[in-house]
Amino acid sequence: MGMTTTPQILLGQTLGFTANPFADGVAAAQHHRHGAVLVEAGHVAWVGPADQLQKPPNAQTTDYGDKLIMAGFVDAHLHYPQTAMIASWGKRLIDWLNDYTFPEEARFGDPAYAATIAARYFDLAQSHGTTTMCSYATIHPESVEAYFSEAQARGLRALAGKTCMDRNAIPALQDSAQSAYDDSKALLEKWHGVDRLGYVITPRFSPTSTPEQLNALGALWAEHPDCLMQTHLSEQLEEIAWVKSLFPAACDYLDTYEAHGLLGENAVFGHAIHLEPREKDRIREVGAGLVHCPTSNTFIGSGIFDLAGLTAAGHRVGLATDTGGGSSFSMLRTMAAAYELGQLNGAALHPAQLLWLATQGSAQTLHLESNIGNLAPGMEADLVVLDLASTPAIAQRAARAETVWEAIFPTIMMGDDRAISDMWIGGARRTG
């Protein structure tokens, strides 16, 4: 996808953030009812009221009317190889992995199959307005190649890593400490920092890695500290008990990572539902990111992530679909689930907080907040245009809205891919 060199003017409602609405409230959001966005050289050059725009002489204009222009959604934790088996009936995490996930992931040594699912995943994610995604692949280098090749062809800012497992998985999905290091290093050296791609060092989780493998990946991360490291943490109580049995010397689940060099500012931990006080303190101390996966947490029955408490304590938190443990490719549906879980936990999330989580919050956990996740000058022009009246049910509710938030909230709660009116990737309009 080529970047257009002609300046582009987008007219419509605009929404960006000047601060974090969890800390600064609704005033952190900047909304223009009759707004304009100027896109030049793949970046946002200007945002503001349309009548204040100084229009470049050769600019092309796209008028979106009442639709809302904002940053594209950032999905901070997912498993693209689980695309085909999303919404599989299951019991608990460990059964679900053994019955569905591992047999499907075993197919990704076939480059043609990996390429097919990668293209399908990106089609589905983009149809829901997701412009950046951070995925686990499988143990097969072919699965990483397929993902990055497809993302690169689409001009996306995307992250992924080879998932490493050398125990407690079917034989077809086990690597070794040495091959995990070697394969991850080769993929990292080939793809990290190429175009808009980033490599992520990816042990699946402590139960499927020996201490030797965790050490090897910790060593690789120490050699490439600018890379992210992603894994799972404290998703289910049975899983935590399993970790304690496998690592009897560890003081808690987080310690199984820290003891092997896998805790730092560039760490991204998925789920993090049942954290001990020490774990919370340590994660905040080092500045690691946490990712809330609400549709997955309900679908697999994992529990309620303490979003209000962790954000209030200063943790960096992003939002994610966790495809296919999560039951939707849609970040709108994911925001709705986060709202519902917040209600069960006694905290009503404001629409500004939900949209921030799905854009700037996720970008911060991935250390990409200066590139993506906000509609502001200097940001890469990855944009989504939301139709706030995409279905009759949403339209009739939005028509009664007295504030912009009342107009947006029905789309968060009831919206789907029909709400995605248009999308821009790296300053190029996505067609089809």
pLDDT category of residue 432 using cuts at 50, 70 and 90: very low
User: What's the pLDDT at 431?
Assistant: 66
Q: How confident is the model at residue 390 (pLDDT cuts 50, 70, 90)?
A: very high
**Mean of pLDDT values over 5-23:** 96
Q: Tell me the C-alpha to C-alpha distance, in Å, between residue 116 and each of 13, 146, 147, 383.
A: 37, 8, 10, 26
Reported in sequence order, the residue ranges of 41-91 that DSSP labels E, i.e. its strands, are 43-49, 60-71, 73-79
If you compute the radius of gyration of the chain from its CA atoms, what whole number of angstroms results?
21
pLDDT, one tens digit per residue, over 332-385 is 999 999 999 999 999 999 999 999 999 999 999 999 999 999 999 999 999 999
Mean pLDDT of the chain: 96
In CATH, the architecture of 73-365 is: Alpha-Beta Barrel (3.20)
Which pair of tokens denotes residue 393?
């049910």
Give the per-residue pLDDT at 121: 98
Equal fold, 8-72+373-429 vs 73-365: no
How far apart CA 320 and CA 193 sit, in angstroms, is: 23
CA pair distance 31, 39, nearest whole angstrom:
18
- pTM value is 0.97
Q: How many CB atoms lie within 10 A of CB 124?
A: 18
**What is the predicted pLDDT for the residue at 143?**
98
Q: Is the pLDDT assigned to residue 1 strictly greater than 70?
A: no
Residue 184 predicted with pLDDT over 50: yes
Give the pLDDT confidence of 106-150 residue by residue, as tens digits: 999 999 999 999 999 999 999 999 999 999 999 999 999 999 999
Q: Report residue 273 as tokens.
A: 């539902």
What does the buried/exposed string (b/e) look like for 84-120 if buried means 16 or more CB atoms within 10 Å of the residue's CB? ebbebebeebbebbeebbbebbbbbbeeebbbebbbe
pLDDT of residue 96: 78
Report which of 334, 342, 283, 387 is spatially closest to residue 133, judged by C-alpha positions: 334
- For the chain, what are the domain ranges? 8-72+373-429, 73-365
Does residue 398 carry a pLDDT above 60? yes
pLDDT of residue 54: 95
The whole-angstrom separation of Cα 317 and Cα 233 is 14
Question: How confident is the model at residue 312, as a pLDDT?
Answer: 96
pLDDT computed for residue 95 by the predictor: 83
**Nearest to 76, CA basis, from 233, 217, 269:** 269
Per-residue pLDDT, 87: 85
By percentage, how much of the chain surpasses pLDDT 70? 99
pLDDT tens for 63-92 read 999 999 999 999 999 999 999 998 888 777
Q: CATH for 8-72+373-429, among 3.60.15.10, 2.30.40.10, 3.40.640.10, 3.40.190.10?
A: 2.30.40.10
